[in-house]
Amino acid sequence: METLYSFDWASVKMEAALVIFAVLALLSAVALPRRFQTSVSALAFVGMYLALILACVFADRLMYCAYGCLIVICALLTSQMSFSFFDKLGRSGQSRNEYIAVVMMSAAGLILFGNTDNMMVAFVALECATICLYIMAAFSKDCASSLEAGVKYLIVGGFSGALMLMGIAFMYGAGRIEGVDFMYMGNFSAGLLNGFFKTGLVLVFAGVFFKIAAFPFQFWAPDVYQGAPTPSSAFFAVASKIAGVVFLAKICAYLNFNSADLLSVKEDVVLTLSVIAGATIIVGNLGGITQMRTKRLLAFSGISNAGYLLVLIAALLAEPSSAYAFNTVLIFYLGAYMMANYALFIAVGQFPEANQTAQTLSDYRGSFKKHPVVSLALSVNLASLAGIPPTSGFFAKLMVLVLAWYAQLYWLLGIMVAGSVVSIYYYFSWIRSMAEPEDKTPCQFAPTAAAKQTIVLLAICVLAISAAVLVFAGAQ
Amino acid sequence: MDTSFDITLNTAVYAPFAFAIIIAVLWKAIGSKTAAAIAALSSGVSFVSALAACWGFYKLGSNMAMFAPAEQLYMLPQLCLSGVSAPMLFLAATVSLAATIYSLSLDIKNAKLYFVLLLVMQGGLCGAFTSANVLWMYMFHEFALVPTFIAMVIWGSAGKRMAAMQMAIYLTLGALVSLVGIIAVYAVTGAAGFNMEAISAAVVSKPVSQYWQYYIFAMLMFGLGTLVSLFPFYTWAPRTYACAPTAFAMLHAGVLKKFGLFMLIQFAIPVLPLGCADWSHTMAVLALFNVIYIGFVTMAQRDVKLMVSYSSVGHMGMCFLGLATMSVLGVGGAIIMMFGHGLSVALMLMLSNIVVNRTNQWDMMKMGGLYKRTPVLAGFFIAGTMATVGLPMFANFWGELAILTSLWSFSPAICALGATGLIFSAVYGLRAVARIFMGVPSGELSKNISSIADISGAERVAASVLVAVLILAGTCPGLITKPADVLLKSFPAYNQGK
């Protein structure tokens, strides 16, 4: 019988810290008067920093800790963004603290989702996180587009949850027939010849594809990102995508195609994943070309990045011998993606109105003249997303290209290169808008001091991490 | 190598970056005049150090190793010089100096940003040719590319929006395709890293099969070819040079464009000789399109800046013809041609921009008779034209001579067709001189001809620097050919041809 004392708390240290402090913050936000609300926010931040410290000090499983840290940093940045967001809405510190608590709960759910080996726990964790995300999407109660985004996300999220649950049910049934516990991912390889199990696996994958906005389940992303409050959009674009990809990578790492009769299954799986990855890259990049709205553009950029990440997963399945490098590349890619995306979302939030639903690229005209340093930092982040050296985004793509070459996915590699070239158009359009002189209306872009520092810091990280890679690679 | 070589080479590459950071740090404290002075100082330091480093390398004489590495500076990427990279480094430093001096004469809005971008671009150029690591060469190249894009959008002339985007997309496409080629070499040979030496060693121990050489060389040829405006991927070049602010256009057309050729000479052909042999005739035919087709297009231009831009596309065809021969003579000729053309096209872009600014006309048909008002400008313009045409005393002459000589053994027909390039450049070059400077002023120009001033002090210095180096290389070509010969002869790939 497991008790509270015998339970291995170290395995869920980050989730526990986040949940405990989120509950504390929520309770004190309700109980304490207005003048203490800043301290309540501080309490919530203490919880997030504690989770980071715990992960760094007791780094027992590197992948879990690195992944958890990424999600917690997303939560930190989103919480930081929420300050100016709620100021612009004119809402009290209490609403903000509720929001931060929801973000922390959601982060805890996402970390557990990527942490667990058990499908049932994964499902419960995902639902816990997703319900928080619905709330985050609809948090501007007075804004129609935010409510619309919330409803859209609710329907899509409910559908993907149902698909996933159905898949898990299929797996459970297959497990009862074969006498294997298919709720545990470690046994997945045993079910690869079972039709029910494979159907279940496909459904689970489809559910996760919804979460990471991969083709053909990508259509919701632009609408939801555009309508939702900007801090929430950033969290959807980064944290929930990171979680989904890490979950997929985890399942794929457990799949073992070594026996001879599984070779054809392996080929099918790799081909299916590659086709989905290629289609996601194409759809994301072609969709991005026509976008003038910044938040929609970031959504399409996110779709294409989901495609590149799927290339990485397909490469892992096709060439298991490169698995030793896989986790490093995955975390590196996700980290680079996170930094660049958050810098851009923070910039999107630095306009006078609260919901930036109608913000276009031309709103940035004149910002190079008005805020040269921030604009330069944003250009670095855009270049990182576009994969221009020497940013970390370039190294992330380079590593994916190398692994895809080793996996002999040549045509996919071609699509990836073509997609990257197409993406230059919309990322550089943003830089071009910043460099152009402002037309009739003066430039509204007015970053706060905190936002400026964060954006510049992220740009420096984007460059410094690649410098670290070079030093590390140079030492080898 | 001795320590002075280490210091000068590292200074040549990293000084522009350091000074760019200084301007950025002192942003609020300094004015645009100070920023300009810092930029001029930086270019001067970089030029002198590059000169010293190249001289140190040249002094080695026959003891020259293939690659002369410099001591690594802290954790910055390691640099090295070779027979190809030494002239290219000197070219980069010279054109940078001229471009910075020329910028001093301009009245620029937001000048601090301008000089930061210019310095970053200069550092990128010097680094691209001297890095010991293929990946870093690639990255330094992008260091130079992104500032061009931003500068074009901010300070460019009409049509810059699309031209900047077109340049960014074409060059990224070329760079990415060649990056896949580089990755392929790395993966197929199982090299220990992206170091030039590691890759060379891996190629010796595990040669690439003919099958892979064919495909990988195709990727590198078309990828790098796009960067050098090889036919049919040249359309970005003329618009870019016509729209970009002149200093950036000088650096781009004069130096950055040579990067593709440099990578082909030092990396692609030595590593993949069989692939190059398979593709050499295709390359030669495409290069003939550059020479002949673009030659006709250039003759039809009435916009003086576009004419110079198209002529640079045409001359790249000559360099590719030299590469196609895969011989020490032809490739060595291509190296001198790259050097000479880099200087002459930078000179011509600068002078044509001066002409356009003075006359407020872009159409050569509406000019004329400037000789009397601007004798010094006309003198420089004629010198630049002579260099472009390839008259003796200028570096380009030796390049064209060597390329055509080696082409004869490659294929007499291609040699004969390639030689028409000289006729084309004589026709459009001399016609431009005649239309701009000779005769009588036509149309509106005749009304305000008296207000046109001759070339100013800073412009004169910039032009003199370029012409002086052109003549130096034209009279002492051994300064370039001797180190180049040592390097090229050490590659088996270049010893098959005659």
Task: Considering only the beta carbons, identify the residue of A421, A435, A473 that sits closest to B169.
Answer: A421
> Counting runs of H as helices and runs of E as strands, what totals does chain B give?
22, 2
Contact A406 B187 (CB under 8 A): yes
Task: Quote the minimal CA–CA distance from B81 to chain A in Å.
Answer: 19
Taking a C-beta distance cutoff of 8 angstroms, is the pair A403, A319 a contact?
Answer: yes
pLDDT score of B373: 81
The pLDDT-based confidence of B63 (bands split at 50, 70, 90) is: low
Residue B68 has pLDDT above 80, yes or no: no
Taking a C-beta distance cutoff of 8 angstroms, is the pair B307, B432 a contact?
Answer: yes
Q: Cα-Cα-Cα-Cα dihedral of A470, A471, A476, B5, to 10°?
A: 100
Question: In whole angstroms, what is the distance from residue B255 CA to residue B489 CA?
Answer: 25
Peptide bond into A442 cis (omega under 30): no
pLDDT score of A473: 64
> Which long-range contacts link B296-304 to residues 24+ away (Cβ below 8 Å)?
B296/B424, B298/B424, B298/B428, B299/B424, B299/B427, B299/B428, B299/B431, B301/B428, B302/B363, B302/B364, B302/B365, B303/B242, B303/B362, B303/B363, B303/B364, B304/B352, B304/B355, B304/B356, B304/B362, B304/B364, B304/B367, B304/B432, B304/B436
Task: Quote the minimal CA–CA distance from B248 to chain A in Å.
Answer: 16
Q: Which range, A77-81, A262-266, A364-368, B394-398, is most confident? A: A77-81
Task: Considering only the beta carbons, identify the residue of A417, A436, A473 that sits closest to B153.
Answer: A436
pLDDT score of B270: 86
The pLDDT-based confidence of A124 (bands split at 50, 70, 90) is: very high
Question: In whole angstroms, what is the distance from residue B57 CA to residue B99 CA?
Answer: 25
Taking a C-beta distance cutoff of 8 angstroms, is the pair A172, A183 a contact?
Answer: yes
pLDDT score of A1: 65
Question: In whole angstroms, what is the distance from residue A40 CA to residue B108 CA?
Answer: 51
Q: What value does the mean pLDDT take over residues A245-256?
A: 89
Residue B72 has pLDDT above 80, yes or no: no
pLDDT score of A234: 94
The 10 Å CB-count burial string (b at 16+, else e) for A264-278 is eebeebbeebbebbb
Rounded alpha-carbon distances, angstroms, from residue A72 to A49, A342, A393, B319, B374? 8, 13, 21, 55, 68
- Chain A's closest residue to B145, CA to CA, is A388
Return the bridge partners of B56, or none.
none
The pLDDT tens digits of the residues spanning A289-314 come to 988 899 999 999 999 999 999 999 99
pLDDT score of B496: 63
Q: Cα-Cα-Cα-Cα dihedral of A47, A50, A56, A62, to 10°?
A: -30
Q: What value does the mean pLDDT take over residues A192-201?
A: 88
Residues of A in contact with B77 (CB under 8 A): 470, 474
The pLDDT-based confidence of A475 (bands split at 50, 70, 90) is: very low
Residue B190 has pLDDT above 80, yes or no: no
Q: What value does the mean pLDDT take over residues A48-58?
A: 89
Contact B177 A467 (CB under 8 A): no
Task: Considering only the beta carbons, identify the residue of B110, B146, B184 that sits closest to A369.
Answer: B110
Task: Considering only the beta carbons, identify the residue of B133, B138, B149 that sits closest to A428.
Answer: B149
Q: What angle do CA B93, B21, B37 make, to 5 degrees?
A: 60
Phi, psi (degrees; rounded to nearest 5) at B176: -70, -40
Lowest pLDDT segment from A8-12, B328-332, B399-403, B441-445: B441-445
Phi, psi (degrees; rounded to nearest 5) at B77: -60, 145
Return the bridge partners of A118, or none.
A184
Q: What value does the mean pLDDT take over residues A117-122?
A: 91
Rounded alpha-carbon distances, angstroms, from residue B250 to B242, B255, B324, B340? 11, 8, 27, 13
Percent of chain B with pLDDT over 90: 23
Residue B453 has pLDDT above 60, yes or no: yes
Contact B176 A473 (CB under 8 A): no
CA A82, distance to chain mean position in Å, is 18
Question: In whole angstroms, what is the distance from residue A404 CA to residue A322 CA?
Answer: 10
Question: In whole angstroms, what is the distance from residue B264 CA to residue B258 CA?
Answer: 10
Lowest pLDDT segment from A16-25, A43-52, A62-71: A62-71
The pLDDT tens digits of the residues spanning B195-210 come to 777 787 788 777 888 8
The pLDDT-based confidence of A355 (bands split at 50, 70, 90) is: confident
Mutate to test the interface with B, among A362, A379, A421, A430 (most CBs of B within 10 A): A421
Q: What angle do CA A227, A25, A29 make, to 5 degrees?
A: 80
Q: Is B198 on the interface with A (CB under 8 A)?
A: no
Question: In whole angstroms, what is the distance from residue A403 CA to residue A392 CA?
Answer: 17
Respond yes or no on whether ipTM tops 0.85: no
Q: What value does the mean pLDDT take over residues B477-491?
A: 84
Closest C-alpha to B469, from B320, B354, B347: B347
Question: In whole angstroms, what is the distance from residue A211 CA to residue A102 CA?
Answer: 18
The pLDDT-based confidence of A90 (bands split at 50, 70, 90) is: confident
Show which residues on chain A lie within 8 Å of chain B, measured between beta carbons. Answer: 368-369, 372-373, 379, 383, 386-390, 394, 398, 401-402, 405-406, 413, 417, 420-421, 424-425, 428-429, 431-432, 435-436, 467, 470-471, 473-474, 476
Taking a C-beta distance cutoff of 8 angstroms, is the pair A400, A333 a contact?
Answer: yes
The pLDDT tens digits of the residues spanning B7-56 come to 888 888 889 989 988 888 888 888 888 888 888 999 999 999 999 988 88
The pLDDT tens digits of the residues spanning B81-110 come to 888 888 999 999 999 999 999 988 888 888
Mutate to test the interface with B, among A428, A438, A471 (most CBs of B within 10 A): A428
Q: What value does the mean pLDDT take over residues B474-486?
A: 86
All residues at 6 or more sequence positions from B44 whose CB lies less than 8 Å from its CB, including other chains: B97
* Residue scoring higher pLDDT (B319 or B444): B319
Task: Quote the minimal CA–CA distance from A257 to chain B in Å.
Answer: 24
Question: In whole angstroms, what is the distance from residue A38 CA to residue A79 CA?
Answer: 13
Residues of B in contact with A463 (CB under 8 A): none
Contact A398 B193 (CB under 8 A): no
Residues of A in contact with B172 (CB under 8 A): 386, 388, 420-421, 424
Mutate to test the interface with B, among A362, A384, A388, A395 (most CBs of B within 10 A): A388
- Helix, coil or strand: residue B73: coil
The pLDDT tens digits of the residues spanning B125-147 come to 998 898 888 888 888 888 888 88
User: Which structure tokens are listed for B169?
Assistant: 């997309």
Task: Considering only the beta carbons, identify the residue of B77, B150, B177 that sits closest to A431.
Answer: B150
All residues at 6 or more sequence positions from B372 whose CB lies less than 8 Å from its CB, including other chains: none
- Helix, coil or strand: residue B79: strand
Closest C-alpha to B260, from B271, B249, B252: B252
* Residue scoring higher pLDDT (B196 or B221): B221
Q: How many domains does chain B have?
A: 1
Taking a C-beta distance cutoff of 8 angstroms, is the pair B105, B234 a contact?
Answer: no
Rounded alpha-carbon distances, angstroms, from residue B449 to A57, A332, B31, B354, B394? 78, 63, 35, 15, 32
Question: In whole angstroms, what is the distance from residue B23 CA to residue A104 CA?
Answer: 42
pLDDT score of B186: 83
Q: Is B168 on the interface with A (CB under 8 A)?
A: yes
**Structural element, H or E, at residue A425:** helix A410-435
Expressed as residue numbers, the domain containing B429 is 3-495
Burial class (CB in 10 A: 0-12, 13-18, 19+), B33: exposed
Residue B498 has pLDDT above 70, yes or no: no
User: Which structure tokens are listed for A108?
Assistant: 């805890």
Percent of chain B with pLDDT over 70: 98
- Chain A's closest residue to B174, CA to CA, is A421
Residues of B in contact with A375 (CB under 8 A): none
Lowest pLDDT segment from A341-350, B206-215, B283-292: B206-215
pLDDT score of A476: 42
Closest C-alpha to A135, from A153, A112, A122, A121: A153
Question: In whole angstroms, what is the distance from residue B439 CA to residue B446 CA?
Answer: 12
Burial class (CB in 10 A: 0-12, 13-18, 19+), B28: exposed
Query: Average pLDDT, whole number, for chain B?
Result: 86
Residue B371 has pLDDT above 90, yes or no: no
Q: What value does the mean pLDDT take over residues A435-452?
A: 84
pLDDT score of B65: 66
Residue A225 has pLDDT above 60, yes or no: yes
The pLDDT tens digits of the residues spanning B289-318 come to 999 999 999 999 888 889 999 999 999 999
How would you classify residue A273: left for phi > 0, otherwise alpha for psi between -120 and 50, otherwise beta? Answer: alpha
User: Which structure tokens are listed for B347?
Assistant: 């000179």
Q: What is the DSSP string of B185-201?
A: HHHHHT-SSSBHHHHHH
